[in-house]
Structure formats: structure tokens, C-alpha cells
Structure 1
Amino acid sequence: MQNQLSEKQELESLYEGSLSHIERGEIIKGKIMGVRNDGVIVDVGYKFEGIIPLNEFSEEELKNIKEADEIEVFIEKIDDAQGIISLSRDRALKIKGWEILMDAYEKALPVEVKITGKTKGGVLTSFYGINGFIPASLLEIRKPKNLDEYVGKTFKVKIEKIEPPKNLYGQWRNLKTSLILSRKAYLQEEKEKMKKEISEKIKEGLKIKGTVKNITNYGVFVDLGGLDGFLHISDISWGKVRHPSQFFEIGSEYEFIVLKADTENERITLGYKQKKADPWENIDKKYHPGMKVRGKVTRVEDFGLFVELEEGVEGLVHVSELDWIAPKHPTYYAEVDEWINVKVLDIDRENRKISLSFKQLKPKPWEVVAKKYKVGDRISGKVKTITDFGIFVRLPEGVDGLIHISDISWTKHIDHPSQIFKKGQKVDAVILSLEPEKEKLSLGIKQLSEDPWIKEIPEKFKIGEIYNAKVIKKTEHGLFVDIEGIVEGLVYNSEIDKNRTVKEGDEIKVIVVKVDKEKRKIGLSMKKIDENEE
């Protein structure tokens, strides 16, 4: 009996000896055994398991917990009598976090935190479960506009002020802690580092990338990564620059060339056009008189068109070289940004001038038209200009013909041609008159078909007959109406049914009281319908 008791004590002694020695206030690693209603069970190498409260885990974390997963925990309490070890994952995490924060504060190192929300005057942060605060004034080098944009993101920050728990591993009751952070300090420190690096390597002629931070009428300010550089408008392009915003966008990165570098006074002059060779250096090799070239119109002046042949090379088409016969204003021939073909007349390399001709690439158009067309011919063209009195149609030969508003339709009243036509629209028409010597061409659209007033309308619309009509417009003279979609007529004021309120778009019945073939008018009445029916 005594031998059996001795063996049992020896086994218990061996078992206890195999167990880890743990104490309250320690942080140790354990293995998850499972999840119960009262918490997450963890094997910490002791004679009984420990438990972590469920409220230290999110629902998502509880779903993803796996047995045998390792976890760091803080031993809150060991109750041998009850066989319970109270554990805390949050406490272990926070202790580790405070230790990292205190070390970072002493060594002036940055830490990475997550923005969890915003509050009055700044944003809230989380680091290993420890709450912190970044005042809005310390969030950026310049005060931020919208704090909502930062929520959910992680940033590196410096510690401005820290008050950790007095006893990290002791009792945590009525804790008074504080953690004030500054992203601004981190950004300024990084900027100074980059500034120093750039200052050491920057030199004239160096190609360097930078981000546009501001655009003015006279140039561009560029962030080179700690140092600011300035690009004058005259160094943007070899060609004409109306405004720097033609070439650059704020926030975008571009490559520049350092023209002058005074790092001591932080003055860096940048160039952009210098990345390419001056196009006038070898202009004689690329262009010569008599050569046909294509360019883009950059300016339209009273005296001619300025045409860019390539970046930095611009020529002038003088007004006298625009057309063979009575040149019109340059705006008649081209618009800004329009591409045109021209002929090189002369090159002045010293003064950076090229004379160009527009007319010498084409025959006299009115002579071509005079030979090709005659009155009565049918033509096709595109609407070039729309005016109150009609539309100008550009023929393939380059001349414009006028379709007067009265020659658009036999039967429809047209207030303005824009009701029917759009610029660039293709139209067919008939030549009504052609005067090449006066550069005049009259066209008609309605003449494409037979005049319905000669036979169709008089036969269709008889005096005394009743028809359906739609009110088009109310005027002081009466109601203009569309009669069965064929022709327009007028219900005289005296013939309007005063017992009925009529507005534009209404469907009404009318009786024909007059058909005037010569004046192409149909007189109508609403009142006489009743008389007719009687």
C-alpha cells in the first residue's frame, strides 16, 4: 500500500515537473484548444487550460479561429483551487504596443498607426489596440481640408507625447494614459532627408523628375522631393505657349532638366523644352522653298494665319497668300487648331521666320466651279455656316453657296435655319444662279422637287372642306397650323373659335376659306365649321 502511494506521488511529481512554470503578470505563448460559450480555451502548458473572454474577439475572428493556432496572452489570474487561468489577448497586445511606443519615443523613431475615426479637432488612431490622437494641425504639413479622407488608412507618425500605464504588468484599474501623435513631424523629417539627398546630387544639366505643385501664368512650381524648382513659361516649349496648363497638371509627375542650381539658397531653375534640340538649328536641312508641308493653325490675325509646322517652328501665311481672288478675312479659311496644307515660300533662319502660302497649292476655285457647273445642276455639300437668313454650303471645290431661308421649303414656315440644319451636315441642292466673277453662288433645296402649289395643294385642299390640323404657333395675326403634315395655313384671328382655349401643339379641325396659289397661302377658319355643318 505504501509502495503504491509512493509511486503515485512520484508520477504526480514527474507530471508537475513537465509543466511550464507560469506566474500572474507574464506574457506567454499558448495554443488554442477551442471555443466555448464562456471564452476561447488556450493551452499554456499548465495542468489546466486558460480562458480568454469572447469579447476580446470580433465575430470574424471567432469564425476563423483554428485549433492549435498559436496566440500570445497575458496571465491575469491563476486559481489553482478552481482550476482556472484567466487570460487576456488584448492586454498582451497592448503591453507589447506600449513597449514599442516607449522605445520609439526614446529613439525618436516613427511608428505606423491606423486611423479609426475622426473627432473634434483631429483623428483617432489605433496601435496594438492602444488609442491615440492626431490633432488636425499635426496631420499634414498644410492643414487638411477633409478629415474623412484619412479614416481607414495607415500612416507613419512621430510621437509628440506619451503617458503609458505606470505599471505595465500590474493592475490596470482607472488607467490614465495619453498618446499624442504627429504625422506632420514625420513628413517634415522625411522631406528634410530627401532635401539633403537631392542637394548632394543636383547639378546643372541633370535630368530630374518632379511633381507639379502649382501653375501660374508665368510658370510652374515643381516639388523635386524636398526642394522646390521653378520652370519659367519661356522654358516650357520651343513653340508658343499660351498658358503652362496646356502642358502640365497639378499633382502629375514630369521629367525636367536643371538649368541652374543654387542649393544653398534653395533656388533651382528648371527647363522642359531643353530635353529636345532647338528645331531652328538645322531648319534649312528639313525645309526648303517650294516644299509642301502640313501644319496646325495656332493664331488667326487680321493679317494672316500663323501655322505651326512642328514644335517650335511656326510660319506665317500672309493674307495675300490665302486666296487667288479677293482674299477674305483669315477666319474664313481656317480656325485655331485646324490642320492645313501650305507651301514654303521663304526661310529666314536668323530671325526664325518662315513665309508660307495657302493659295499656291490649289487652282482658283471659282474658275473650277465655272467650268464644272451650270444653273440647274444638282450639287452636294456640307453646311459651313448658319445665319438668320439662310445657310452657307461648302462645295467640294472650296466655294460656298447660299441657300436663302426662303429656298428651303415650299410649304413649311421656318423661323431659323438652325431648326433644320447643323454645322457639318450634308445637304443636296440645286444651283439657282452662278456668278464666278462676283464669287456668288445661290442654291435652293426646295427646287429639288416640283412646286406643290402648282397642282398638288390646290387639288388636295378645297375651299369649304374640313381638315385636321396641329397648332404650330400663336401670333397677333392668328394661329399658324400644320394641315395634315402637308402644308401650313393660317387661322385668322377673326376666325378662331373664342369658346375654345387653344395652345401650341393642340389638334384642331379647320375649314379652308381661301387658297392663294400666287402668294402660296391657305386661309382657314374654326368658326365656319359650325356654319358649314348647319
Structure 2
Amino acid sequence: MNSALAVKQVNTPSMENFADLLDESMGPQSSLEGSVLKGRVVAIENDFALIDVGLKSEGRIALKEFATVPGQPVELKAGDEVEVFLERFEDKNGEAVLSREKAKREEAWQQLETSFNDSQRVTGVIFGRVKGGFTVDLGGAVAFLPGSQVDIRPVRDITPLMGTPQPFQILKMDRSRGNIVVSRRAVLEESRAEARQELVANLQEGQVLQGVVKNITDYGAFVDLGGVDGLLHVTDISWRRINHPTEALQIGQTVKVQVIRFNSETQRISLGMKQLEADPWEGVDAKYPVGAKLKGRVTNITDYGAFVELEAGIEGLVHVSEMSWTKKNVHPGKIVSTSQEVEVMILDVDPVKRRISLGLKQCLDNPWATFEDKFPGGTEIEGEVKNITEFGLFVGLPGDIDGMVHLSDLDWNRSGEEAVKDYKKGDTVKVKVLDVDVEKERISLGIKQLGDDPFESSMTGVKRGDVVTAVVSQITDGGIEVQVNGMSGFIRKAELSRERSEQRPERFNVGDRVDCRVTQLDRATRKLALSIKAMEVAEEKAAMAEFGSSDSGASLGDILGEALRRKQGGEG
């Protein structure tokens, strides 16, 4: 019984012995699972390649796994050597389970790990979009590209980058989890730094470069020159007026620029585009002679005038005072509008200051000159009272212009302050044209001139030195006011008599008639200056000349008495 048991124990293998027997049966090949093996293509059958890797049985791999470009024909034939991944020793059909894709992935991982450890760049292709970023094919291994690592600046459309081999930097690798994180931005920043150093080292004023518009502001655009940015000011984009850089540029646009200024200390670069074009101001005074009329387009309107573009890069200013003959206190925007085509005259050209003065009204008829031709001095016309001021009446005239009737030209006999009360705004009045000053744009009108001057008619035949009879109208401390033929006159206190004792205004009464001599006719004040004293002195001289002199022995009393008697006798 014991011997039987002993034999049984000897013939029954242990678990360890069973594993050894399995290894002996299978051989060392079972340990190859999960590794990359070299194999030979035995045959191509029905889109599959039959691969011999030196095992008891061959394996099958779909031909598409050998495609270098998805969808393209596979150039594989019997006898070719290939590397494949052994997943299992055999499947239910007794064939080895092989994979070309996993072999490529394993190979790629080994190369990527080497590149990662050596901080070397790798080449990959962006082929898909996932949450937070994109997927990249690194020669068989799939990596994750975060959205923030695509470029140095945000990229609106990544489509142009997809499907194109790109350099990447591996940021993180975890083979156990199959995770790889890459960055395209790190490569660009490194390249940018290298390019920046080289560019700045060789940068010179006047140098012409190509760049890409990176950003646009109200005052200009920042242009990426390949690692370094330069400012393209709005005034240096074009010779023509540009109100905002977006009128000529857009982000991402490639432009050719010239280095205008470069400060090596601050690294500031000023760029220009217009400097690459011919300066339109060259010979501008010959192109635009003073007095020439031409057409232009209104580009900008301000409180003080409007800018008119004569050609690209050449603008002139029509000052508000040169816009209209008649509209003096109107904003330029009420006369012209932006983009309107207008005819202008060249008034002045300053090539040094790059300024051209233009006139708009000079291309239109001067209403004052037209008025002067049609209504010369002395013409009587009608007009509406537009305004009443302390100076007189403003009357609307043909041609949308005004003339002024000064207070002194309202009435012959009354003061202007009194006469102006007869008029109100809107009244239609008849006036006479007194004077037209085209240069000063003034027209003088008169209302009293429509009739004869009563002063002149009353003073017909009266001249200085004549003796007239006046009627006392008012007594004042300084003399007496009188009327002569309906005109006012004044006899000063000192002129009331040759005798000082008789130079008393109070000895006269209103209504008294007195003889006096005309000493002055003042047409400005329309008054006569009169003198009783001058008349008496003149009469004395005349009597002395006629009846004797002091040498004859006759007294003055005798002479005057004789003269008086003769006068009375003659009257008798």
C-alpha cells in the first residue's frame, strides 16, 4: 500500500514541474509577447499580409497598417522584411497575433523618449481636435497639443496648420499611461529669440524688411519682423490721409516696410510704408500754381475748415473764411460733406511746411462784385430790414447779401437814434446805393438820400460872410440858438456884441429877430455858426472906409452917426 502510494507520488508532477514542462513544450518564444520582432512577408492574401516571425505559426496583418499615407496604396510584396509587434503567441485559429501599428508606436516611443531626455525637437502632424487642444501624430505615437501651446499668439483658424509636418517640443511623457504633451509655441519662441538676436544685430535705419501685421491700434499697427516688433504709425502708412489703420491694413497681412528709426538701447523700431513710395509733394508748387482751379474730394471736416484731397497724399485746407461769400458764421459741415467732390482754387502753396491753402468761394461769382455791376452807386432798390443794431439798419439785397443804412443816413433833420424808431425787423424799405466796397464786402445804403437835403436847399445862395436875419429859438448860458430859413444856427455868448457889456444872452427873447453874419456852414452838423459881433465889426470897417479915417480928425461916433443918417435917409 505504501509502495503504491510512493509510486503515485513519484509519477504526479508538482505545480512547479508543470510550469517547467510548459516552458519546455512552448520554448522561450512565449516570453516574446509584447515585443517588437522582425518578420518576413510570406504572401499577400485578400488585403492581408502573411508574416513569418520565426514562431510555430505565421500571423496576419491588414495591409492598411503598412500605409505611410492613409488611403494610399501599400507597396508591400512577398519577401519584404518588416518589424511587427507580437500581441499573443497564438489566437483561437492557432495564428500569431501581430500588429504593424503597435510596432510603429513602440518604435516611436523609444525615439521620443530619447528626444525628450536630450531636449530635442520632434516632428509631428496635427490631425485632430479634442477638448482643450489638438491631437498630434508623432510618427505613430499620439500626443496632446494644448490650445495655448499652438502659437505665440492666439490662432483663430488652425486649419492651415493641420496635416502639415510641424516641429514640436515634448513637455511631458508618461509611457505607462501612454500620455505625451507637446508644444509648438516653445519651438516658435526659441526660434523667435534666435531670429530676434540676429535681426537686431543687423538692423539699420533705411533697411527694407517684410513683416506681418500683428496688432492694430488707433495710432498705428505693430508689425512682426520675425522675432521683433516694430511700430508703423498711422501717419507713415500712406501719403494719403488715413483716419484709422484699419482703412489700409488688417491683422495677419504681410507688408513691406522701411526702418525709419531704431533705438538700440530701448529696442524700439519705427517703421514706414509710405517711404517706399514716391513723395507726391515733390514739385508740388509747379503742379499746383496759385490761381489754378481744380476738383478734389473732401476728406475731413473740422471747426476751422475742410480738407480736400487733390491727389493721393496731397491735401489742402479750405479755411472756413474761404468757403462761402455770404455764410460767415456757419460750420463747414453745413456747406460741404465728407467725400463730396468740390471745385477749389489754389490760394497758396508752402512746399516746406507741406501746406496748400484752397478757396471754395473763389470758384463762385462774388456777389458783391455782381451787385456792383448791376446796382452801381445812386441806384434805388427795395429790400427787407434783416436786423437793427446800434449802428443802423441791415437790409437784405439781391445775391443773398446785406447792406447797411447808417443811423446818420436815415433822416436829414432828426437824429439817427430818433429816426431808427420808425423801423422794425421785416419791414420793406426803399434805399439808395451810396457805395460798394467789393474788397471789404461792404455796401453802404441811404434812406434820407432818396430826397433832397433841406439844408442845402435852405442854404441856397447863402455863403460865409453873408449877413442874414435870424429868429431866436432858445436862450442858453453859452449863447442863443436861432433859426435861419428853417435851419439851426448858434451865436456864442462872445459873438453877441462887440461890446463886452452887451454879451449877455438874457437880453434876448425867444422870437426876437437879429441880424448876424455867417461865419461857418457846417454840413456835418448841419448847423450855421453866426456872429453879431462879426457883423458889427464889418460894418465899422465899411463905415471907416467910406466916411473917413482917424487921420481926418473925425471921431468914430461922428463917422457912424453920418453913416446911420445916410442909411436912414436912403430908406426914407
TM-score (norm 2): 0.49
- Could you tell me whether the CA contact under 8 Å between 2:345 and 2:358 is conserved in 1? yes
Aligned equivalents of 2:71, 2:350: Cα separation in 1 = 82
Aligned to 2:191: 190
Q: Which residue, out of 39, 42, 60, partners 1:51?
A: 60
Aligned equivalents of 2:120, 2:359: Cα separation in 1 = 71
Aligned equivalents of 1:314, 1:231: Cα separation in 2 = 21
Deviation at 1:209, TM superposition (A): 1.6
Deviation at 1:334, TM superposition (A): 2.7
Deviation at 1:68, TM superposition (A): 3.6
Aligned equivalents of 1:324, 1:65: Cα separation in 2 = 87
- Gaps of at least 5 residues in structure 2 are 1-31, 371-395, 402-572
Aligned to 1:114: 126
Aligned to 1:494: none
Instruction: Work out whether 1:230 is the aligned partner of 2:249.
Output: no
- Could you tell me whether the CA contact under 8 Å between 2:151 and 2:184 is conserved in 1? yes
Within a 5 Å distance, the mapping from 1:203-218 to structure 2 comes to: 203-218=204-219
Deviation at 1:325, TM superposition (A): 5.8
Aligned to 1:296: 297
- Could you tell me whether the CA contact under 8 Å between 1:32 and 1:67 is conserved in 2? no
What value does the CA root-mean-square deviation take over the aligned residues? Answer: 4.6
Aligned to 2:349: 347
Call closer, same or farther: CA 1:265–1:352 in 2, change over 3 Å: closer
Aligned to 1:19: none
Deviation at 1:295, TM superposition (A): 1.9
Deviation at 1:151, TM superposition (A): 7.7
Aligned equivalents of 1:72, 1:361: Cα separation in 2 = 90
Greater Rg by CA: 2
Within a 5 Å distance, the mapping from 1:47-196 to structure 2 comes to: 50-52=59-61, 68=77, 72-74=82-84, 76=86, 84-105=95-116, 106=118, 108-119=120-131, 121-142=132-153, 155-164=166-175, 175-196=176-197
Aligned equivalents of 1:438, 1:199: Cα separation in 2 = 67
- Could you tell me whether the CA contact under 8 Å between 2:121 and 2:167 is conserved in 1? no
Aligned equivalents of 1:62, 1:302: Cα separation in 2 = 69
Aligned equivalents of 2:306, 2:206: Cα separation in 1 = 37
Aligned equivalents of 1:61, 1:350: Cα separation in 2 = 68
Aligned to 1:415: none
Aligned equivalents of 2:105, 2:275: Cα separation in 1 = 57
Residues 423-445 of structure 1 deviation map (CA, whole Å, 9 limit, x = unaligned): xxxxxxxxxxxx993669xxxxx
- Could you tell me whether the CA contact under 8 Å between 2:291 and 2:346 is conserved in 1? yes
- Gaps of at least 5 residues in structure 1 are 1-21, 165-174, 369-434, 441-534
Aligned to 2:433: none
Task: Compare the two structures and name the one with the higher helix fraction.
Answer: 2
Q: Which residue, out of 348, 356, 359, partners 2:358?
A: 356
1:232 partner letter? H
Deviation at 1:62, TM superposition (A): 8.8
2:337 partner letter? E
1:42 partner letter? L
- Could you tell me whether the CA contact under 8 Å between 1:158 and 1:181 is conserved in 2? yes
1:347 partner letter? V
**Aligned residues between the structures:** 337
Aligned to 1:41: 49
Deviation at 1:152, TM superposition (A): 7.1
Call closer, same or farther: CA 1:305–1:31 in 2, change over 3 Å: farther
- Could you tell me whether the CA contact under 8 Å between 1:31 and 1:67 is conserved in 2? no
- Could you tell me whether the CA contact under 8 Å between 2:126 and 2:134 is conserved in 1? no
Within a 5 Å distance, the mapping from 1:416-495 to structure 2 comes to: 437=398
Residues 286-335 of structure 1 deviation map (CA, whole Å, 9 limit, x = unaligned): 22123233322122345543212234432233445445666775435431
Residues 383-407 of structure 1 deviation map (CA, whole Å, 9 limit, x = unaligned): xxxxxxxxxxxxxxxxxxxxxxxxx
SS of the aligned residue for 1:102 comes to helix
Deviation at 1:203, TM superposition (A): 1.0
SS of the aligned residue for 1:197 comes to helix
Call closer, same or farther: CA 1:322–1:153 in 2, change over 3 Å: same
Aligned to 1:202: 203
Deviation at 1:156, TM superposition (A): 2.7
